[in-house]
Chain A
């Protein structure tokens, strides 16, 4: 029987972009699939807002974003991550959690864009 609390995070089910999220007892984990382009932006915005709300509610120390099957991200979607990280950076330490990106080294965009997000975060973003 699954005793983990139910997450208040809606899955995104767009034509070329889908997400699902769960709580593994330590971290909130979100998987992103497909292409994060203009059509994905509204759903991604809601996902990141809900991830933040749930991470704070559950008091987790880490949110994991799995990108192994995310083939592209445009700059508008990237900017949503920039704002999320920017908002976290201004937060007091007790309300701060780490963000871990699980990347796919075969997808070129991730090497470049995650390098930029890591630099912006100044220490609380991990890429593996």
Chain B
């Protein structure tokens, strides 16, 4: 029975090397705490994708990363939150994508549809959040603060809840 708790906070100015380093930190630490490599991979991948979004679309250099293992509504969950200041156009895009993901009945069907769209485009991906939802099996949420700060939460239900 898994019973350990974890709380990790990082303030990071993401660049390519630091993003991979942050992914490895989350991956290795959560593998030990959860004793589950699949949980570790999902959280590491989500950390990587969310920080790359910050690097591509963030308004300034910083982001805060919060990861904690806890209990929500009586169930054990891992919650990953990445908060940063972002451009208005990107916030609007995020709202649209997160709303579509939350409204999708089948995350894998949504992901494959996003891949179909991507296959027809010449640049850009737009797959990161859909990947977290489908491959990571994580719920995605979005919160706005002070109009230009955005916090994306990826929440993973833990099997030993």
Contacts and interface: CB of A to CB of B under 8 A. Distances in A.
Nearest to A77: B125
B118 A79 contact: yes
Contact of B20 (A37, A75, A86): A37
21 contacts: A37-B48, A38-B16, A72-B23, A72-B48, A74-B49, A74-B128, A75-B52, A75-B125, A75-B128, A78-B127, A79-B115, A79-B124, A83-B119, A108-B41, A109-B41, A109-B135, A113-B131, A113-B135, A116-B115, A116-B135, A120-B115
Contacts of B124: 79
Nearest to A89: B119
Interface size class of B (residues with CB under 8 A): 20 to 34
A19 B20 CA distance: 19
Interface string B48-74: 110010010000000000000000000
B48 A116 contact: no
A49 to B, nearest CB: 12
Interface of B: 16, 19-20, 23, 37-38, 41, 45, 48-49, 52, 55, 108, 111-112, 115-116, 118-121, 124-128, 131, 134-136
Nearest first, the 4 A-B pairs at minimum CB distance are: A86-B119, A108-B41, A112-B135, A79-B125
Nearest to A35: B20
Interface in A58-109: 72, 74-76, 78-79, 82-83, 85-87, 89, 108-109
